[in-house]
Amino acid sequence: YGPHVFHHADMKHNMHGSMGPIGVQRFLPWHRVYLFKLEQMLQVFDPEIFIPYWDWSVDRSIPYWLQNFTPTVIVDGLPRTVTRAPGVHSNPRSRLPLPQDVITVGGETNYTAFTRALEGGIPVTKYQTAMHNGVHMWVGGIMSDIMYSPTDVLFWLHHANCDRLWSIWQKNHVNQNPNLTGTDAIMDPWSYNEQDTRDTTNFGYVYT
């Protein structure tokens, strides 16, 4: 698990909007592959297992079955312990999104606008919450660390929900895809091309 967490700490993968225009485009497809690779690892132990999603717009607290699960994980040779501080961050945009926030983000009509809104609530003049980023900061602790947030298993439930919202949006916006070419379109450190990520059935799952 630690080496898989460390992929997220390796910023050369350019998978966040804060890293620039290419990171904006790569955010959703890269994390879809990242989720899938963990699911594959888990299915070695149980072929029926899958990563559930946490719909934070409805379920307004950390899932009860994870609240006391705060392991220590060895990442890049160092022990990293899961800590949380839900709801104490001072930034007013660092909160759990509401159903109306989800509807507003889903109303974006092109991919770049949608992914920017879903990841960071951009433009800030339009969105009251930072959406993906806001949930990370609301949880606090290691989830607020952009590099090591996957140490907390809550990361995967959060990102599965972001992936679900993208999947819903894709069905309503056919042919609206990331603008990536060449090596930018390869979801390193894996060999998946951005085009491979456009349909969840390519990875053997759908959201219901």
Predicted confidence (pLDDT) per residue in 109-160, tens digit? 999 999 999 999 999 999 989 999 999 999 999 999 999 999 999 999 999 9
What is the band of 105 on the pLDDT scale with cuts at 50, 70, 90? very high
Task: Tell me if 93 sits within 8 A of 130, measured CB to CB.
Answer: yes
Q: What percent of the chain has pLDDT over 90?
A: 96
Q: How many other β-carbons are positioned within 10 Å of the β-carbon of residue 88?
A: 11
- Return the residue matching tokens 């990242």: 34
| Residue-averaged pLDDT of the chain | 96
Among 27, 49, 28, 24, residue whose Cα is nearest residue 39: 49
The answer, yes or no, to whether residue 208 has pLDDT greater than 90, is: no
CA-wise closest residue to 36 among 187, 173, 169, 140: 187
Angle at 45 (CA atoms; ends 68, 11), nearest 5 degrees = 70
Beta bridge partners of 72: 81
Q: Looking at residue 184, what is its pLDDT?
A: 98
Give the pLDDT confidence score for residue 186 in this predicted structure.
98
- Contacts for 150 with CB less than 8 Å, ≥ 6 apart: 4, 5, 8, 34, 156
Buried b (16+ CB within 10 A) or exposed e, 15-27: bbbebeebbbbbb
Residue 165 has pLDDT above 90, yes or no: yes
What are the CA-CA distances from residue 145 to residues 40, 83, 136 (Å)? 25, 11, 8
Could you give the CA distance from residue 124 to residue 128 in angstroms, rounded to a whole number?
A: 7
pLDDT value, residue 146: 95
Give me the pLDDT at residue 64, please: 96
Residue of higher predicted confidence among 13 and 128: 13
Per-residue confidence band for 38, with pLDDT thresholds at 50, 70 and 90? very high
For residue 141, the tally of other CB atoms under 10 A from its CB is: 19
Confidence check: pLDDT of 90 > 90: no
- Pick from 138, 93, 115, 134: which is nearest to 16 by CA? 115
Q: How confident is the model at residue 66 (pLDDT cuts 50, 70, 90)?
A: very high
